[in-house]
Structure 1
Amino acid sequence: MSAALALRQAIHDRLAADAPLAALAGAVRIHDVPPADVAFPFVILGEAVVADWSTATEGGTEQSLTLHAFSRAGGRREAFALAAAIQEALHDAPLALAGHRLANLRATTAEVRREGDGRTYHALVRFRAVTEPL
């Protein structure tokens, strides 16, 4: 399995089992692509930019990841809380990756914006990860 897919699976598993996130969301709904009739709030495993970070003697990748959380709770409060819970669950988390070792996973930025429909709030939470093959 590629480092990117292994990291996405580990992130999914960690968020799905995170009690503080579940307390906010009622049930943790994590999607690659949300279904048409998705219930709010929910999280999407979003974009990933994967770059070779190999040295002359060792392989590795650097990944820039964006997770998205969507809320319709009537304001930004829930979206900010979701972003904070995602950061707390993943920042420096010791995730086990299939076929790879996670050297570093750091939250870098979080942003909340209102979507064009005027009632959906969208949190973007960005991470940087470094992985090495086993």
Structure 2
Amino acid sequence: MSLPLDSPALALRAAIHAALVTDAALVALLGAPRIHDVPPGDADFPFVTLGEAVVADWSTATEAGTEQALTLHVFSRSGGRAEAFAIAARLQAVLHDAALALEGHRLANLRATTAEVRRESDGRTFHALVRFRAVTEPV
């Protein structure tokens, strides 16, 4: 993932991607390090995508800061919800309160907030949405 990291949102995404692709338990659940910013059209299942980010100013009178709400997506076709739930739980375990190193920014906190699993309209794909809240500060 070679993106300019001058924004806290891009720095956080790069750090999350690096943490996820190196987590052996997650890679085992996925069958390979299938964590994508944008998945290829022929992506193998299951896989994770780095989804939407909402970035807001979190500055105080004396300190600059950013609050981010980030959604990770899990897509599974294992025939049930269990695989999507297992991958979602692993994402939460890896990232909740993780001390990630961000280029040009400091991660004050990263918290898992919600997770849900739903069946997609094709009837065979299960989609987990795992949401996180992060606060970052410039270094």
Q: Which TM-score applies when normalising by structure 1?
A: 0.99
- Work out whether 1:12 is the aligned partner of 2:17: yes
What is the alpha-carbon distance in structure 2 between the residues aligned to residue 90 and residue 27 of structure 1?
19
Query: Where do 5+ consecutive residues of structure 1 fail to align?
Result: none
Distance in 2 (CA, whole Å) between partners of 1:12 and 1:51 is: 21
- Amino acid in structure 2 at the alignment position of 1:124: L
Q: CA deviation at 1:60?
A: 0.2
Alpha-carbon distance in structure 2 between the residues aligned to 1:22 and 1:35: 18
Map 1:73-112 → 2, pairs under 5 A: 73-112=78-117
Cross-structure match for 2:3: none
Residue equivalent to 2:57 = 52
Say if 2:114 is the partner of 1:114.
Answer: no
**Structure 2 counterpart of 1:132, from 125, 129, 137:** 137
| Structure 2 residue matching 1:34: 3-state secondary structure | coil
Determine which of 22, 30, 39 is the counterpart of 2:27.
Answer: 22
The 5-angstrom pairing of residues 30-49 of structure 1 reads 30-49=35-54
* RMSD value, Cα: 0.5
- Give the SS at the match of 2:55: strand
Counterpart-to-counterpart distance in 2, 1:23 and 1:30: 12
Q: Aligned equivalents of 2:86 and 2:33: distance in 1?
A: 14
CA distance in 2, matches of 1:79, 1:120: 10
Runs of 4+ deviating beyond 3 Å: none
Specify the code of the residue in structure 2 equivalent to 1:60: G
The 1-side partners of 2:23 and 2:118 are apart by 24
Secondary structure class of the residue paired with 1:109: strand
| 1:56 CA drift (Å) | 1.0
Where do 5+ consecutive residues of structure 2 fail to align? 1-5
Further displaced range: 20-29 or 7-16: 20-29
Aligned equivalents of 1:22, 1:9: Cα separation in 2: 17
Of 57, 71, 75, which aligns to 1:70? Answer: 75
